[in-house]
Amino acid sequence: MEEQKVVFTNKDLNLRLAGILRLPDDFDLSENYPAIVVTGPMLSVKEQAQSVYASRLTKLGYVTLVFDGAYFGESEGTPRQQELPEVKESDIEGAVDYLTSLPYVDNARIGGLGICGSGSYMSVAGVKEPRLKAITAIVPAIADIAKSPMSSFFLPKEEVEKAKKDYEDGNGEIKYLNFMPRDFAEGAAYYFTKRGNRPRWSNQVVAWSQLSLINYNVPAIMKKMEKPYLVITGENAWSRDASTEVFNAVPTDDKEMHVIPEAGHFDMYDLDPYVTEAFEYITPFFKKKLNIIG
């Protein structure tokens, strides 16, 4: 496959985003290809879990796009390391804008796949972005974040609000949350080893991100979901309850959920046999829902 470094724009913020576009083997410029936007875990950069899934999808014949979200990696935006759901959604919209600008992408066959936090962001994008025709969420982790293990990383609300105001008034430094401590063993086994540690990744997130995250009600939004929808979680994933809640909120019958035996949450990022087992469902889902012939 061919990999190209690309740049596109989050139009809402007028920020340039850095991406990797992957083209299938034997790419033919005269053909029209289905395409999939692939997004990764919270705080992630484009070279992490999203590239694992994008590479496999490209081998199946899809044009794929991964990218660093605004405020992360090689993309623009300050302060750095802000994890804001509304921004993540507008990043996805910018990615779709870019794909639709490519003459060899079939605009009627664009899908989305998100992992962990962006499993939830991508699910919401499936509701809000009409150009996305089918959505897959891998271990979507955000439902009611107040009930999630992630809330243990949060600081008292009043402390965060004061830090945000002081910074905006020019009277204070940015306060950060440690969103993936080394003592979180399962996460550390991915992020602090060669499995997932990549240049420009950091476990620090601007503390006032929690003010947006805590109010992000994904199940309420998913009640309006009308697109084909696939959720894949792990039998032992700490996020399984959130994934189930998001899935159950979808009112249509055009949905499916599969649990990968023995898999934990972070196993689903990159480890076999779990990712390969996930593709036993991903492959026929996108083939059918994006009307792939052959």
Q: What pLDDT, on a 0 to 100 scale, did the predictor assign at position 179?
A: 80
Alpha-carbon distances of 7 from 12, 27, 181, 230, rounded to whole Å: 16, 21, 31, 29
* Over residues 11-26, mean pLDDT: 97
Report which of 169, 187, 48 is spatially closest to residue 114, judged by C-alpha positions.
48
- With a cut of 70, say whether residue 293 has pLDDT above it: no
* Over residues 65-83, mean pLDDT: 97
- With a cut of 90, say whether residue 4 has pLDDT above it: yes
Q: Token match 């804008």: residue?
A: 97
- Residues contacting 292, CB < 8 A, separation 6+: 34, 61, 109, 286
Residue 69: DSSP 8-state: P
Q: What pLDDT, in 10s, does the model give residues 95-142? A: 999 999 999 999 999 999 999 999 999 999 999 999 999 999 999 999
Q: Binning pLDDT at 50, 70 and 90, where does residue 203 land? A: very high
What's the rounded Cα separation, in Å, for the pair 273 and 252? 31
181 or 170, higher pLDDT: 170
Q: Classify the C-alpha dihedral 46-52-55-61 as positive or negative.
A: negative
High-pLDDT (> 70) share of the chain, %: 98
Q: What pLDDT, on a 0 to 100 scale, did the predictor assign at position 185?
A: 80
For the record, the structure tokens of 40 come out as 């990764």
* Over residues 185-199, mean pLDDT: 92
What's the rounded Cα separation, in Å, for the pair 16 and 266? 29
Phi and psi angles of residue 198, each rounded to the nearest 5 degrees, phi first: -135, 155
Length of the chain: 294
* Over residues 218-243, mean pLDDT: 97
* Over residues 26-53, mean pLDDT: 97
- Residues contacting 166, CB < 8 A, separation 6+: 172
Pick the most confident of 41-55, 151-165, 170-184. Answer: 41-55
What's the rounded Cα separation, in Å, for the pair 136 and 123? 8
Q: Which CATH superfamily is domain 2-145+217-289 in?
A: Alpha/Beta hydrolase fold, catalytic domain (3.40.50.1820)
Alpha-carbon distances of 103 from 6, 33, 100, rounded to whole Å: 15, 9, 8
Which of 104-108, 182-186, 268-272 shows the lowest mean pLDDT across its residues? Answer: 182-186
- Give domain limits for the chain: 2-145+217-289
> Between β-strands 255-260 and 229-234, what pairing exists: parallel, antiparallel or unpaired?
parallel
Q: Token match 């740049």: residue?
A: 7
- With a cut of 60, say whether residue 5 has pLDDT above it: yes
Q: What pLDDT, on a 0 to 100 scale, did the predictor assign at position 152?
A: 82
What's the rounded Cα separation, in Å, for the pair 72 and 49? 15
